[in-house]
Amino acid sequence: MIALTGKQHIALMIGKKLSFLQLLTHQKGCKVAKRSKSPAQIKAEIQRLNSELAQAEAREGERIGALAVKSGLHEINCSDADFIKAFKEIAARFRSAHEKSEQTA
């Protein structure tokens, strides 16, 4: 490898069309700190993520609803409160089984 003088090194970097900041940090081996996001950018990201979450929850709701229909739950005459209670029991059963499997892994 050929040793370059400071001016030659700068000329080479300029030939690569680097910005002044890139040139400066590259020459000194510095890393530029990432700019923090503005409150507006953070709010926009939160809004986008909330929308994404709502869509994911809707897809899961449709999937679980389809499974409920396949299992015949739609034919049972039961109050919403009873269904919610039963669903919570099922969720607790699967959570405890999942936690047990993670402990043995």
Residue 29 shares a structural domain with residue 44: no
pLDDT tens for 73-99 read: 999 999 999 999 999 999 999 998 888
> What is the pTM (predicted TM-score) of this model?
0.54
Residue 62 shares a structural domain with residue 89: no
pLDDT tens for 51-77 read: 999 999 999 999 999 999 999 999 999
Domain total of the chain: 3
H-only helix segments in the chain: 6-15, 20-28, 39-70, 80-104
> Which residues constitute the domain of residue 18?
1-33
Residue 22 shares a structural domain with residue 45: no
